[in-house]
Amino acid sequence: MQLYVNYYDRHCLSENDNPTLGLILCTEKNDTVVKYTLGNNNKQIFASKYQFHLPSESELEAELRKEVSDITQQLQN
């Protein structure tokens, strides 16, 4: 993934573009493999376990409300 991110950054990225992100979707995620493959300082590539069903609109809305509430509480503390 780092190869593709670096290639895109060098040959395709425009001045006004945000940094390139890579996303690896896996059926299983092994945190140790991710740690040693990507390193601790890599802020451009993310690995996440793939979910086989998509959440419903109401589930997404509930999750967004929860996240907004959590962020609001953190900012107040």
- Report pLDDT digits (tens) over 54-63: 778 898 899 8
Question: Is the pLDDT assigned to residue 12 strictly greater than 80?
Answer: yes
Rounded-to-integer distance, Cα 19 and Cα 28, Å: 27
Q: Which DSSP symbol is given to 54?
A: P
Least confident of 11-15, 24-28, 41-45: 41-45
Residue 22 CB coordination number (10 Å): 17
pLDDT category of residue 47 using cuts at 50, 70 and 90:
low
Indicate the range of 2-11, 17-26, 63-72 predicted with least confidence. Answer: 17-26
Residue ranges of the domains in the chain? 2-76
**pTM recorded for the entire structure:** 0.42
